[in-house]
Structure 1
C-alpha cells in the first residue's frame, strides 16, 4: 500500500486546526472518557434485559472489558491521537470508510435529541424541591394515609381457564407527579389520542436546559477550560453520589437490599454474560466516536494503553455505584409487597422518578432531594456537553471554512438540538425514546466491526502495529493485534445479533411511526457508509480495482507536529511515502 497526498486524489488536502488546543492536564482525557459512563439510560432500558444490576451480574463485564472494550478504546484513541483530529478527519487512515465519520455526527446528534429528557427530569424535581411542601410528599398529596395511592386493577392469571386474580397496584407519588405534566395518569404516559400533545411545562424546562448548555459553551469552549470544567463536574457528581448512597443505606430494607446485591448468585453471573456484552458498548458514550475526538487533544506520546485500562476500571466503578443505588431503591419499594402477594409497586425509572418518593421519607427531605437530583442533572449535562464538544471538534477539523464562524456554528447547533428535542417533550416521545436507545446497540456494533475492518485489515496489521509503536515509543505485542483482528469481532457479532433481536422485540409493541423513525436512524446511516465509499472510489482514476485500492489508501496520514512528522517519515521510509514533486516527475518520465 502506497501513501498518497490529497493532491494526487484531486481532493483538498487536510489542513490542521492550529487553534484547537490541548488538555490542560493529561488526566483530563481520563476524566472526560470516564464521564461517558454517566450515560445512565442503561439503567432505564435495562428493564428490557431483565437487568437487576447485582454485583456478580457485572463479573462478565471484566472479561469483555479485556477482550474487546479496552482494545477498541485503544483503536479509537490511536486514531484520534495520531491524527490530532476528530472522528471525521481521522478516517484519512482509509478514506473509503470516511462515511463512518459523517454517520457518527448524525448518530451523535440523534442521541442528543432524546437524551435531553435525562436532564429535564432532574431539573423538574430540583425546582419543585425548593417549595416548602414537595408535591409528591405526604403533605403534598393531601395526607392520603401513606406515601402511595392505590387503585384496584384486574389481570388474567391463567389464560386457559380465564381465572381472574385481583391485584392492587401501588402508584408511587413522584411517578404520578411527573405523569401529571402530560395530563394523563392512566395507561402509562401514552393515551389513544393526543400522543404528540406538548407539555408546555416540560418545554419550558427543556429551554432552560439548552440555555444552560449554551452558557457553558459561551465561557468554556476552549479545550483547556472545557477539560477543567469536566474534571470538576465529574468529581462533584461522584462526591454527591457517594453522599446520597451513604444516606440511602438508612432507608428501610436498604441493608437487606445491599446484602442481596453483593451476595454471590450463579444466575446473576449467567445472565450477565449476555447483557454485559451490550453494557460494554456504553463505554463509548451516547454517540459514536467520542473517545476518538477526546483523544485528539492528547500529547502525541500519551500512553493510551495504560489510560484505556484506567478508563475501563473508572467506568466500572461508576456502574457499580449507580447499580447499588438502583438496587437499594428497588428493594425499598419491593418491601411493600412483603406482607401481601396482591400488591404490585409501579416503580418507573427508579433512579429518576421513583427515587423522589423515597427521598421524601428522609429527614431534611428537601435538601437530600436537591442534592440527589443535582447529581443526576450534572451527570446528564456532562454527557450532553461532551457529546456536543466532540461533534463541534470533528466539524471544525474537517471543514476549514467553519473555523472562522465557531461561535455561530456552536450556537446554531445548540439551537437546532433544542428545537428538534421538543419531540421528546410530548407523551409519545417520553415513552418511546427507549426504542431508539435499543436500536443504537445494533448500529454501534456494526460501526465497531467496520472500524476493525478499516484499521486492522484495510490499513493493515503491520502498519497499525508500526504506527502505534512509533507513537507510544514502546513495543505493541502481536497477540494484542491478533485479539483485535479475530477474537473481538466474534463478540461484536454476538452483540450485533442481540441488538437486532432486542430491537425487533421492542418494535413489536411500539407504534408504526416509531418503527419508521428507527429505520431512518439505523438503516439510512449504515447505507450511507458504503455509499460514500463508492463516491470516493468514483472520484479516483483508473480501472475499478485501481479506483478501489486508491480509495482505501491513507491520505495525508501522518502526525501533525512537524518534529514528529519528520521522525515518522524516517521510520516509514521515503519508498512508502509519495510526495507531489515525486509523482509529477514520475509522470513526465
Structure 2
C-alpha cells in the first residue's frame, strides 16, 4: 500500500507537537487509566444494578475483559502510542472518520459540564464537617428540620410510625435519611427534580461549584506540563485508593456491615444474570467519560511501551476499584437494613454521596471520618475532571497548531467556560437529572467502539494493524486476538448499543423537556459530526467520488513521531520513496 501524505494531496500536512512531553514514569499511564475508573456516577446511574450484585455478579466483567475490554484497550493504546497524538489527530489512520475525534471531544465537554456536582457535594460535607455538631446527625438536624411536617426520618421513625404514618410505598413505611434531607434543604422548595416544580438556583452550590473549578484551575496552573501532571495524578490516585481502603476498614465495624459482606460473598445465580447486563456499563466506563481518553493518555508513552501487559494491569486495577466501592456500598446499604424493620423502607438517595454522611455521623470521631471519607470522594472527582480536561486540551493542541502558541489562554478559557455552563446543575432540576446525560454514553460509547473496530481492523486492515503493532512492540501479536476483535467483540457491542437505546428511552420518559433537549444537544447531535467531517474531507480532495473516498479512507501522515522509529518503520513497510517525502514535510514544518 502507498502511504498518503497531506503534502502529496495538496492539504496542510500534520505538524506534530514536539514539545508535548512524556510521562515522568511509564507507570503514570497506568495510574492515569486507573483514574478513569473513579468516574463514580456509574453507581448513581445504575443504583439497582450495583447494589444487588454479589460475587457472581462481577464475574461477567472478567469475561467481557477478555472478549473486548483488553483488546479494545490495546487498539486505543496503539493509536495514541504509535501516532503520539490525541484522540483527534490519531484518526490520521483514516481521515474520513476523524469526526470520531471531534465527537469524543464533545462528549468529554458534556461530561465535564455536569460532573462537577460529584466534587461539589463532597466539598459541601467536608466544609460542614468542621462544625462541632454535624448538621445531618440526629442531634444536629434539629436546627433546620421542620418537625411539624411529620416527615419520617431514621431518627424519628419510631415516634412518627406510632403517632402518624403519613408516607407509605410499595415497600411499606418510608423513612428518609437526614443527610439527604440536608442536601435538599439547600433549595427553598425542598423538592429536587420534580418536573412540575419551577427552576430554582441554589447559591450555596454556586459557591461550591466555583470552589471546585478554582481547584481545577490551580491544578493546571501548578502542573502545566505532562511529566508534572502525570506525577500529580499518580499521587492523587494512590492517595484516593489508600483513603478508600482506610474507610473500608472502618466501615467493617458498622452494624450490619458484615452481613453486607456475607451477602456479597454468597453466590446466587440471579446475581450472575444481573451482572451480565450491568457490567456492560462498567466496561464502557473503562475508556473514559469522553471515550477517547485512553488514546490521548497512551500518546505520552515511550514508543516501545508494552501496552499489552499494561492493558491487563489497567483492567484488573479498574475492576478492583469497582469492587471496593461496591463493597463500601454494600456495607452502607446493610447498615440501613439493620436499622429498620422488615416493613420499613429507608429511602437512600445517592448512597455513596448523600446517605453515607448520616451513617458516618453515628461513628466515633464522626467529624474526622466524615472529612476523610468525603476527601476521598473529592479527590476521585478532581482526578476524573482534571484527566478529562488534560486529554481534551492535548488533543486540541495536537490538531490545531495555532492553539499551541496560546496554551495557557486556551487552558484557562476552557476551564472558565466549563465552569459557567456547569452552573445549570446548581438548580433543583439539573442537580438531580444530571445522570440522564451520563446514561446516554452507553449508546455513544458502543457506537464509537464499533466504528473504531471498523476503521482499524477492516478499513486500515488486519494485516497492517498486526504489522504496525508488532513493529511498535517488537513482539508478535496473536491472530486469535484480532479474530476476537473483528468478529466476537462487535456482537457484544451491538447488544450494548441496543441497551443504550432502551435506557435512553426509559430514562428520558421521566425527565423534563429541558434535560431531554440538553441530552440531544450535548450527546446525540454531535454524533452527526462523524459523517459530516467525512464528507467535508471528501470535497476538499480532487478526482472522482470513488477516488476521493478511497483516498480519504487511506492513512495520511501515519508514521511514528520520532525520526529513528520513523526511518525504521519506512524500511519495514518497504516504502523508501515515501520516506523522502516525509523528510520534506518535516523540514518544511520545522
What's the TM-score, normalizing by structure 2?
0.94
- In the alignment, which residue of structure 1 is the partner of 2:362? 361
2:525 matches 1:524: yes
1:42-53 counterparts in 2 under 5 A? 42-47=42-47, 49=49, 51-53=51-53
Structure 1: runs of 5+ lacking an equivalent: 158-164, 584-589
- In the alignment, which residue of structure 2 is the partner of 1:439? 440
2:246 matches 1:243: yes
Residues of 1 paired with 2:522 and 2:452: CA distance? 19
Quickly say closer, same or farther: Cα 1:149–1:155, change in 2 above 3 A.
closer
Q: Deviations over 1:294-345 (max 9, x none)?
A: 000000000000000000000010001000001110111122333x41x110
How many residues in Structure 1 have an aligned counterpart in Structure 2? 571
- In the alignment, which residue of structure 1 is the partner of 2:588? none
Structure 2: runs of 5+ lacking an equivalent: 585-590
2:184 matches 1:179: yes
Shift of 1:576: 8.3
**8 A Cα contact 1:9 1:539, kept in partner:** no
Shift of 1:525: 1.6
Residues of 1 paired with 2:424 and 2:28: CA distance? 34
Quickly say closer, same or farther: Cα 1:581–1:304, change in 2 above 3 A.
closer
Residues of 1 paired with 2:96 and 2:156: CA distance? 59
- In the alignment, which residue of structure 2 is the partner of 1:114? 114
Shift of 1:191: 6.2
* Aligned equivalent of 1:220, options 223, 227, 230: 223
Shift of 1:285: 1.6
2:457 matches 1:456: yes
Shift of 1:132: 0.7
2:298 matches 1:333: no
What's the TM-score, normalizing by structure 1?
0.94
Residues of 2 paired with 1:124 and 1:287: CA distance? 27
Q: Deviations over 1:76-122 (max 9, x none)?
A: 00000000000011001000000111111111011011111000000
Quickly say closer, same or farther: Cα 1:582–1:173, change in 2 above 3 A.
closer
Quickly say closer, same or farther: Cα 1:551–1:578, change in 2 above 3 A.
farther
Residues of 2 paired with 1:110 and 1:568: CA distance? 38
2:214 matches 1:211: yes
Quickly say closer, same or farther: Cα 1:330–1:15, change in 2 above 3 A.
same
**8 A Cα contact 1:100 1:529, kept in partner:** yes
Residues of 1 paired with 2:465 and 2:308: CA distance? 14
Quickly say closer, same or farther: Cα 1:541–1:191, change in 2 above 3 A.
closer
- In the alignment, which residue of structure 2 is the partner of 1:422? 423
Quickly say closer, same or farther: Cα 1:156–1:84, change in 2 above 3 A.
closer
**8 A Cα contact 1:198 1:426, kept in partner:** yes
State the Cα RMSD in Å. 1.9
Q: Deviations over 1:280-303 (max 9, x none)?
A: 001012211000000000000000
- In the alignment, which residue of structure 2 is the partner of 1:66? 66
Residues of 2 paired with 1:58 and 1:396: CA distance? 39
**8 A Cα contact 2:437 2:523, kept in partner:** no
Residues of 2 paired with 1:376 and 1:294: CA distance? 23
Residues of 2 paired with 1:154 and 1:277: CA distance? 36
- In the alignment, which residue of structure 2 is the partner of 1:262? 265
Residues of 1 paired with 2:527 and 2:580: CA distance? 34
Residues of 1 paired with 2:190 and 2:457: CA distance? 53
1:38 aligned counterpart, secondary structure = coil
- In the alignment, which residue of structure 1 is the partner of 2:492? 491
**8 A Cα contact 2:108 2:291, kept in partner:** yes
**8 A Cα contact 1:54 1:323, kept in partner:** no
Residues of 2 paired with 1:191 and 1:102: CA distance? 33
**8 A Cα contact 1:21 1:297, kept in partner:** yes
Over 6 Å off, 4+ runs: 143-146
**8 A Cα contact 2:82 2:303, kept in partner:** yes
